[in-house]
């Protein structure tokens, strides 16, 4: 399987899609550990049984066609070069929703996307750092695009694009759009 309309040199060129997986973030880390990873490799899924959020929280992806993916980018740069990268990723996501779907969502720093005061998505940025040099990034993005049912513990604090705006988002198209924009940003930062 490949991402359609992908105009990247490396990001998303190696792509795996799972109907169900424990966590896209964990899968990237497993591939790193086995030394079976390529620069720009991306893992996406329909359902995550143990998705990773920040502070060790679980990210619920239990319905199909939501945006859930992680990717790996090799770097060899000072930590300072990547300052604010999570916010920049959030800006890209917000801009895609606005330009492509006419949907307004907001950024709640440092890494959440919100709509009408409820969380709609999040970004998890992890890195391997040696002697103040970033060797690689592992970034996970989860967005409730088509999720309609929220458990009692999160129904008052979480929502989705479908619930708020009653529109469908094609998750793979969205991921391609993100990759096309983010690759340019990461290349500028590592020049």
- The three-class DSSP label of residue 20 is strand
Whole-model pTM over 0.95: no
Alpha helices by DSSP H, listed for the chain, are 24-33, 85-101, 161-165, 171-189
Cα–Cα distance for residue pair 91/93, rounded to 1 Å: 5
Q: What is the pLDDT of residue 74?
A: 94
Cα–Cα distance for residue pair 85/105, rounded to 1 Å: 19
| Residue 42, token pair as written in the block | 């991306």
Q: What is the pLDDT of residue 190?
A: 77
15-189: which CATH number, 3.40.190.10, 3.30.930.10, 3.30.470.10, 2.60.260.20?
3.30.930.10
Cα–Cα distance for residue pair 79/169, rounded to 1 Å: 34
Buried/exposed 74-108: b ≥16 CB within 10 Å, e otherwise? bbeeeeeebeebbeebbebbbebbeeebebebebe
**pLDDT tens-digit readout, 114-162:** 999 999 999 999 999 999 899 999 999 999 998 888 888 888 888 999 9
Q: What is the mean pLDDT of residues 11-29?
A: 95
Cα–Cα distance for residue pair 147/64, rounded to 1 Å: 8
Q: What is the mean pLDDT of residues 40-45?
A: 96
Q: What is the pLDDT of residue 58?
A: 61
Q: What is the band of 63 on the pLDDT scale with cuts at 50, 70, 90? A: low
Per-chain mean pLDDT for the chain: 91
β-sheet bridge partners, residue 129: 134
| Strand 67-78 versus strand 58-61 pairing type | unpaired
Cα–Cα distance for residue pair 131/149, rounded to 1 Å: 45
Nearest 5°: phi and psi at 78? Answer: -65, 150
Cα–Cα distance for residue pair 26/64, rounded to 1 Å: 19
């Amino acid at each position: 399987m490949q991402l359609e309309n992908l105009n990247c040199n490396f990001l998303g060129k190696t792509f795996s899609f799972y109907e169900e997986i424990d966590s896209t973030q964990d899968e990237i880390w497993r591939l790193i550990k086995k030394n079976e990873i390529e620069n720009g490799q991306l893992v996406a899924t329909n359902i995550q049984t143990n998705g990773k959020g920040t502070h060790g929280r679980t990210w619920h992806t239990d319905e199909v066609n939501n945006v859930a993916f992680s990717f790996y980018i090799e770097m060899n740069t000072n930590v300072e070069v990547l300052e604010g990268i999570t916010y920049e990723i959030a800006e890209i996501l917000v801009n895609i929703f606005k330009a492509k779907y006419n949907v307004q969502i907001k950024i709640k720093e440092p890494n959440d996307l919100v709509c009408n005061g409820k969380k709609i998505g999040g970004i998890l940025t992890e890195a391997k750092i040696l002697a103040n040099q970033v060797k690689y990034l592992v970034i996970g993005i989860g967005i409730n695009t088509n999720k309609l049912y929220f458990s009692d513990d999160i129904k008052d604090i979480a929502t989705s694009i479908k619930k708020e705006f009653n529109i469908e988002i094609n998750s793979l198209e969205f991921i391609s759009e993100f990759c096309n924009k983010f690759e340019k940003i990461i290349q500028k930062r590592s020049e």
